[in-house]
Structure 1
Amino acid sequence: MTGRLSIMLMCALALAACSKTPSTPEPITGGDPRAGRALLARYGCASCHKIKGIAHADSQVGPPLDAIRSRGYIAGVLPHDTDNLIKWIRHPRQVVPGTAMPELGVSEAEARDMAAYLYSQ
């Protein structure tokens, strides 16, 4: 009986380890990096940017988005902080009129998630 109990316990632990756990919010942005990754793909960010962890994200139209945390400025004009990154993602043409980066209709929550993913890389 203890052998059977041990096997059941091991199976339960294995299943628990394989279950999909919710992504932990990134502390700086409060966003969900897992959701941000999906949003970066859905909004087509890879068509212009190189983004680590996103399939086919190797374009060089816009700057690469790896190591974004270490950059001093966003779009060359905004001092780099979380709020400014979110602002840039949501409304790039308000920050830099005439920029090639399109207004995509990204919500505040989506921009937080996207920033969380970029910061996690």
Structure 2
Amino acid sequence: MRTIGASLLAAVLCTAVTACADKADAPRSLAQADPAEGLKLIERSGCATCHVIPGVSWPRGRTGGPLAGVAARPLIAGRLPNQPDVMVRFVRDAPSLLPDIGMPAMPLNDTEARDVAAYLYTLDDG
């Protein structure tokens, strides 16, 4: 009985460690998304009011975290898995995923949010 319990504990721990592993190299492709359009939307939506964003010279906000290297990070906002579907939802409506976050919901449709996420995924060299 003790052996089964130890084996079960080992399996659970292994699963937990694997689930929390750094997935920074996971594929992050957004089919039919346009990073160039994403940059234009970032500039138009005022994202740089709160964030320092490579490719945007002004403004250079410091309220939100800098976005340089965001593509290489394993987590979005330090709490969500950095995966395309999550990034698109976060860009469009961050409070629906993290109610205590300061980032507001953005006036973007799904296609626009995909374009913004595609641009963010070009920022891999922090």
Q: Give the TM interval when normalised to the shorter protein.
A: 0.7 to 0.9
The residue correspondences of 1:1-121 to structure 2 (distance < 5 A) are 28-30=29-31, 31-121=33-123
Structure 1 runs (4+) deviating above 2 angstroms are: none
**CA shift at 1:104, angstroms?**
1.6
| Secondary structure at the counterpart of residue 91 of structure 1 | helix
Rg larger for: 1
CA RMSD in angstroms comes to: 1.4
Q: Separation in 2 of the partners of 1:57 and 1:71?
A: 24
C-alpha distance 71-85 of structure 1, shift in aligned 2 (>3 A) = same
Which residue identity does 1:54 align to in structure 2? V
**CA shift at 1:74, angstroms?**
0.8
**CA shift at 1:55, angstroms?**
2.4
Name stretches of at least 5 consecutive residues in structure 1 with no aligned partner: 1-26
| Count of aligned pairs | 95
| Secondary structure at the counterpart of residue 121 of structure 2 | helix
Is the CA contact (8 Å cut-off) linking 1:49 and 1:60 kept in structure 2? Answer: yes
**CA shift at 1:76, angstroms?**
2.0
Q: Separation in 1 of the partners of 2:69 and 2:59?
A: 15
Name the TM-score, length of structure 2 as normaliser. Answer: 0.70
| Secondary structure at the counterpart of residue 120 of structure 1 | coil
Q: Separation in 1 of the partners of 2:119 and 2:77?
A: 18
Q: Separation in 2 of the partners of 1:86 and 1:100?
A: 17
